Structure 1
Amino acid sequence: MTTSASTTHGLVIRPLAGPEELDLFLGLTYSLDHELADDLATGRRVPEWMWVALDGDRLVGRIAWWTNKAGGEPQALDFFDLSLELPAEAREEIGLRLMETATAAVIPAGTQRPEFGRFMPADWRELPETRSHLESVFSVLERAGARPLVERLRLEWLPGTPVPEPKGRLEFRPVRDREDLVALMTPVMEGTLDAHGQAELASGLTAREAAEQHFDEEFAHYSSPREWWQVAQLPESGEPVGFVVPARNNYHHTIAYIGVLPAHRGHGYIDDILAEGTRILAAVDVPRVRAATDLGNVPMAASFARTGYDTFERAINYVWDAPGASGS
C-alpha cells in the first residue's frame, strides 16, 4: 500500500503524518470524534488510514477506516465528512477525489472494500444542514460504486428505566461453548429479517457458516464474561427457545445478538429474552446499554420499545457488492 499525497489545483489530499496531527483531523466533526485518540493508541486506527483534503490551511474533507484489533486489516469505513462551507457540487467533487485517492492507497486493488457505516440523528431528514451534508456523502458513495444496504435504529437503555419482570415462561442458563451458541444461531440465521444476515446468505454462505463467522469475528473478541450469554429454554422440557448475548464491546455494553428459534416464534418470547439480557447488564451497574436493529425489523424494534429502550440515533450502511479496483 502507498500513502503518497495527491495535489490538484491547490487541493492537497494526504494521510495524517502521525497521531500528532489528530487535531487537524478534528477540524470537522462527527459523533465518534471522542473515540479517535484511544483508537489510535490501541491500534484500532493508524494514521495511514486517516486522510484529509486540504484547501490551503482549510480542512474540507476527511476519511478514515477502522479495525477491531491492532494489526488487523481495515474492517469498516466509518469516517467520511465534507465541509458544509463548500457548495454542494464542489463538496461532492472534492469528496469523490478524496474517496478515490485514499481508497487506492489503503485498500489493495482487487479486494472487497470495507462496508461504510454512518451514525445519524434520529430526525436527520428534518434537519436541513445535516441532510445536505449526508446527501452529499451518500452521493459520493454511490458515484464510487456503493449502494445503500440498510438504515438502522440505534437504541439505548439507561439505568433507572424499569425492566419488565420475568413472566416465568422461560428458564435461562449460560451458553456452554461455541458449538452451543452456533447451533442455535444457525436456524435463526435461516429466517433472519436482518439485512446484513440476508446479504451474507445471498453471498453464498450457508446459515451455519454465517453463524460461525459472526461468532469468530465478533463474539470471540469480547472481553466481558461469557457467563452473561444466555440460552432461553422451556421449563418443563429444557427445549431451547432462543438466546441473548449481552456483552461489552470496545466502547459500550450492548445487546450484541438476540434471537428466537423459528419453531417458537409468535409467542412473544423475544420480550422475555431481551428483558433477561438487559437485567444481566443492569445488575453490573453499566452506564447504558446499547443495541441496534434494522428499521424494517418492526417486531424487534417494538420489543426494544416495550423493554424500555429509546431510539437515540439512526445508522446507515453502504456496501460495495464485488471486489474491484480501488477508486472509481
Structure 2
Amino acid sequence: MTVIRTARPDELPALLEHPGDAERNAATRAYLGMLLDTGCTRPEWCLVAEDGAGRLVGSVVLWTLPGQDVPYACVLFEAPADEPETGAALLEAAVAKARACGADELEHVVDSPAQAPQFQRDPERRGVLLRESGFRVVRDGRRFALRVPGTLPADDDRLTFRSLADLGPEPFVDLLAELLAETADARLGADVKRWGARQAAARLFEETAELRHEPAWWEIGYDADGSPAVISLPAENPSVAVIGFVGVAPAHRGKGYAASAVVRGTRILAANGAEEIRGDCDAANTAMAKAFTRAGYENFADRLEFSRPL
C-alpha cells in the first residue's frame, strides 16, 4: 500500500532518486537544496509517496517566494507512470497542505522538452493527471532565455525612460490598466474579467514587486509626443534574472517598442551582474514572442501553466 507522508530529514534534498540518471538526480538535489536555503519551501512542505516495501516512488513540493508563508505552487511532482492513483494522491495531499497554510489557489507548470532541474518527462501524462485532479490550463506559454553577450543593443532613442524611483507607483498601475484592457495574454485577460482592468493592474504590479528588484530598474518609456508608451519591470527570482513584465500601450503598438523594452530591461539586469536572463509570454502573444527574438532571446521551451482553486 502506498503512503503519502512528509519527507524525513535524511531524505532531503534528494527525495526521489532515479537509478542510472545521475544528471537528473544531481540537478533535482541542487534545486531542492536551493529552495530550502532561500525559503522558497520548507521541510514540512516536501511530500513523498512510499510504497509497501519502503521505497520512495513519488514526490511533490510546495513553493512560494522567499519571505512568504503561503505557498501558491507545487514543484518536483513525480509519480509512477503505471500508478495514476499515486499521482492523484500526491496532488491531493499538496492541495490539502496548501489550503491549511492559507492558500486559495495552487499552481503547477509543465515544461517541454524535459530539462533541468525538474526533468518533467512525459508531459502528456502529467497533463492528464493534473486535469483529473481539478487543475486547468490557464496559459499556454513560451519560454525565452538569453546568455548575456559582451555587447548589447543600444537603447531605442525614440523613447525616454523614467523610473519607479522618480515617478512612484501610480503611473505604472495606470499604464498597466490601459494595456491590460487589450491584452493577448490569456491569464491576464482572465484577471481583467475577474477583477476589472484597474484591480488586475494593481495585483500584477504587487505580485511582480515580490520579485527582487530596485526601484531604479522599473521604468516607463515615453514616446516623443510625451505619452507613456512602454513599461519595463525587470527583476530577479531566486534562480535567475527575469524580464518580469513588458507591455506596450495600445496607442503605440506596431512600432517595435516591445523589443525596445526587452532590450532596456536586459541592459539593466546585465549592468547589475546577470549572466543569464529569462522571460515568457503567452503563445497567442505573437508580438511579444517576436520582441524576445529580436532582442536576441531563444525560445528554449514551451510551458503549460495549470491552476486549481482551493
Q: TM-score, normalised by structure 2?
A: 0.86
Q: Identify the residue that residue 144 of structure 2 maps to in structure 1.
A: 155
AA aligned opposite 1:45: T
Structure 2 residue identity aligned to 1:192: T
Aligned sequence identity (%): 32
Q: Does 1:35 align with 2:25?
A: no
For structure 1, the residue ranges without an aligned partner over 5 or more in a row are: 1-8, 124-128, 324-328
The answer on whether the counterparts of 2:38 and 2:238 sit within 8 Å (CA) in structure 1 is no
Matched with 2:76 is: 79
Alignment-derived partner of residue 105 in structure 2 = 113
Which position in structure 2 is the counterpart of 1:17? 8
Question: What is the Cα deviation at residue 227 of structure 1?
Answer: 0.6
Change (3 A) 1:34 1:294: farther
Q: 1:71 to 1:262 in 2, by over 3 A?
A: closer
The CA distance in 1 between the partners of 2:242 and 2:59, in whole Å, is 29
In structure 2, do the counterparts of structure 1 residues 191 and 43 end up closer, same or farther at CA, with 3 Å as the change threshold? same
The aligned counterpart of 2:197 is: 207
The TM-score normalised by the length of structure 1 is 0.82
Alignment counterpart, residue 61 of structure 1, candidates 39, 48, 58: 58
Whole-Å Cα distance in 2 between the matches of residues 284 and 259 of structure 1?
22
* 1:258, distance to aligned residue in structure 2 (A): 0.7
CA contact (8 A) 2:163 2:216 kept: yes
Deviation at 1:290, TM superposition (A): 1.0
> Residue type matched to 1:195 in 2?
A
CA contact (8 A) 1:122 1:314 kept: no
In structure 1, how many angstroms separate the alpha carbons of the residues matched to 2:150 and 2:293? 12
Task: Report what 1:146 is aligned to.
Answer: 135
Give yes or no for the alignment of 1:168 onto 2:157.
yes
Residue 37 to residue 122, structure 1, CA distance change in 2 (3 Å):
closer
Aligned-pair CA distance for 1:21: 2.3
1:271-319 deviation per Cα after TM superposition (whole angstroms, max 9, x unaligned): 2222222222223342111111112211110111111001222221112
Separation of aligned partners in 2, 1:218 and 1:201: 16
Aligned pair 1:135/2:131, yes or no?
Answer: no
1:122/1:97 CA distance change after superposition, 3 Å: closer
Change (3 A) 1:225 1:118: same
Change (3 A) 1:222 1:146: closer
Q: CA separation in 1, counterparts of 2:247 and 2:213?
A: 20
Q: 2:199 is aligned with what amino acid? A: E
Give 1:217's aligned residue.
207
Bigger shift: residues 112-121 or 288-297: 112-121
Q: AA paired with 2:181? A: E
Q: Aligned equivalents of 1:249 and 1:198: distance in 2?
A: 24
The offset of 1:63, in angstroms, is 0.9
Pair 75,167 (structure 1): closer, same or farther in 2 beyond 3 Å: closer
Aligned length: 298
Deviations 1:207-266 (A, max 9, x none): 1111111222331x333322111211123x322111111222222111111111111112
Paired residues for 1:45-60 under 5 Å: 45-55=41-51, 56-60=53-57
Are residues 223 and 143 of structure 1, via their aligned partners in 2, closer, same or farther at CA, if it must alter by over 3 Å? closer
Asked whether 1:185 is paired with 2:176, we answer yes
Q: Could you tell me which residue of structure 1 aligns to residue 21 of structure 2?
A: none
Q: Secondary structure at the match of 1:186?
A: helix
* Alignment equivalent of 1:286, drawn from 268, 274, 293: 274
Give the counterpart letter for 1:99 in structure 2: L
- Aligned partner of 1:316 in structure 2 is 304
Q: What amino acid sits opposite 2:105 in the alignment?
A: R
Give yes or no for contact 1:92–1:136 (8 Å, CA) kept in 2.
no
Moved over 4 A (4+): 28-33
The 1:166–1:224 alpha-carbon spacing in structure 2 relative to 1, beyond 3 Å, is closer
Question: How far did residue 163 of structure 1 move?
Answer: 3.6
Looking at both structures, which has the greater relative contact order when contacts are Cα pairs under 8 Å and sequence separation is at least 6? 1
TM-align CA RMSD: 2.6
Question: Is residue 122–residue 311 contact of structure 1 (8 Å, CA) maintained in 2?
Answer: no
- 2:150 and 2:214 map into 1 onto residues whose CA distance is 24
Q: Cα distance 1:160–1:70, how it changes in 2: closer, same or farther (>3 A)?
A: closer
Per mean C-alpha deviation after superposition, the further-off stretch among 280-289 and 182-191 is: 280-289
Q: Report the alpha carbon displacement of residue 162 of structure 1 after superposing the two structures with TM.
A: 5.3
Q: In the alignment, what sits opposite 2:215?
A: 226
